[in-house]
Structure 1
Amino acid sequence: MYDILVKPCGEYATNCYIVKHELGDIVIDPGKGALEFIKAKSKKVVAILNTHGHYDHIWDNKLVANEFQAPIYTPKDDIFMLEDDGSGYLSSNDISIAVGDKEELVFNGLKFTFHHFAGHTPGCSIIEFDNLYFSGDFLFERSIGRWDFEFSNADDMVKSLEKAKSLKDDFYLLPGHGNQTKVSLEKPHFDSWIRYIKQC
C-alpha cells in the first residue's frame, strides 16, 4: 500500500510529491523549500525523481539527497540543467543518475517508468506509477507546458502532444503546478494546442 502527499513549493507553487511506503518514500520534484515538507512527512526517502530540469522542480535536490542519502534520477537530456547557479542548491548534476525513455525504476516493489515528452525541455518526461502520470510541466489541467523558454522547442512539443494521444485515458495526471486531472479530460484539447503552436 502507498499514499501520495503533495505540497506546492516556492514562488511558482511547484508541486512536490511524496509517494509514501512503509519501507521508504519516493520524492518527485523537490522544489524550493521542499526539504522542510519532506522532513515533516518522511522518516526515510529511498529515491528522488525529477520530471525535468527546470530549477523550480529541482531546487532542493541536493538538500534532500544529503539529508536522506537518497539517489537522484533525472531525464538524461536534462542533466545539463542541474548546474550550480552559485547558491549551491542546484549543483546536483554530478550526483544525478541519468534516466532514459521508457526506463523502469523499482523501489520497494513500486515501479516508476519514465516516458520522454520533449518540448518544454529536451528531457521533459512523464513518470508513470500505478494508474497515475506525474506529468511535470508537460500537461496540466486544461493547459500544457510553455515551449518558448531557453532549451524549449515548439516542434518537439507538437510531436509530444501527438505521442500523448496514446496515454491511457483512465489514468490521472498529477502535474507540476495546479490541480490533478485525468487524461480523458485533457486529450480532447490536444489538437487545439497543436494547431495553436503551429500558428505561433
Structure 2
Amino acid sequence: MDIKIQPMGDYQTNCYIVTINDKDLIIDPGVNAFSWIKGNVKNPIAILNTHGHFDHVWSNQEIKDNYNIKLYIPKDDEFMLTLDPYNLGMPPSYADILVNPDEELDIEGIKIKFHHFPGHTPGCSAIQIDKHLFSGDFIFRGTIGRFDFPNSDAKLMKQSLNKILKWNEDFHIYPGHGDKTTLRSEIQTLKQWEKHI
C-alpha cells in the first residue's frame, strides 16, 4: 500500500491517494485538489468522503466527471454535497453510493469499512483500509474534531469516543488535518475528551 498526502486550501485539508495493487482510491478531495490528483494517479477507481464538509468534498464532481468513477459518502452527510453554507462557491457533487453506518465494502477487491463516528457531522466516519484509519475530522493528533458547528452534536461525539475507546487493536491514523498518528498514541486524549463532553 502506498499513501500520498497533500493538504488543500485555506484549511489545509488532507487529501489522500491510497494505491493498492495499482488501483488508486481518492479520499477527501478538497479545494483545488484536481491538479495534484491528476499528477499522482494512474488508475483511480473511487472517491471516498469521510464526511460532507465543504473543505473535504470541494473537488468531488470535477474528479468524478474526469475519471468516470463513483463517489461514496456516508448517507447521513449526503445533504451537504449540494449546500454552500458559507457562500464560498463550492461546486455541488452527487454521490453514487450512500454508505450505511459501519458498512463494509469491497471496491474492486479492496476491503474498506466506514466506521460511523457521528458528532462532528451526522455521518462522520473513519475509513478503514487494512490497519490504516482515515479519520476525517473525528480524531486528530492530540485532539478531536469540533462539535459546535451546525449539524454537530456533542452527545453523539461523546458516544463515538466511547465506541472507539472499546477498540483493542492499534491503527495508523491519517486525519483530515495535520499530522498522522496512531490510535494507541491518542487513547489518553480521547479519554480526556470523553470525560469532558
What is the TM-score normalised by the length of structure 1?
Answer: 0.92
**Aligned equivalent of 1:36:** 35
Q: How does 1:8-157 map to 2 (within 5 A)?
A: 8-85=7-84, 89-93=90-94, 95-157=95-157
The whole-number CA distance in structure 2 between the counterparts of 1:146 and 1:71 is 29
Aligned-residue RMSD, C-alpha: 1.6
**Aligned equivalent of 1:179:** 179
Change in 2 beyond 3 A, CA 1:79/1:147: same
- SS at the partner of 1:8? strand
**Alignment check: 8 A CA contact 2:17 2:25 kept:** yes
Stretches of structure 1 that go unaligned for 5 or more consecutive residues are none
Counterpart residue type for residue 172 of structure 2 = Y
- SS at the partner of 2:46? strand
CA apart distance, 1:146: 0.1
The whole-number CA distance in structure 2 between the counterparts of 1:83 and 1:30 is 15
Aligned residues: 195
Stretches of structure 2 that go unaligned for 5 or more consecutive residues are none
CA apart distance, 1:192: 1.2
Segment of structure 1 superposing worse, 114-123 or 167-176: 167-176
**Alignment check: 8 A CA contact 2:6 2:16 kept:** yes
Counterpart residue type for residue 61 of structure 2 = K
Q: After TM superposition, where is structure 1 displaced by more than 4 Å over at least 4 residues in a row?
A: 86-89
The whole-number CA distance in structure 1 between the counterparts of 2:102 and 2:17 is 22
Counterpart residue type for residue 41 of structure 2 = S
What is the TM-score normalised by the length of structure 2?
Answer: 0.93
The whole-number CA distance in structure 2 between the counterparts of 1:194 and 1:159 is 8
- SS at the partner of 1:194? helix
- SS at the partner of 1:106? strand
Change in 2 beyond 3 A, CA 1:142/1:69: same
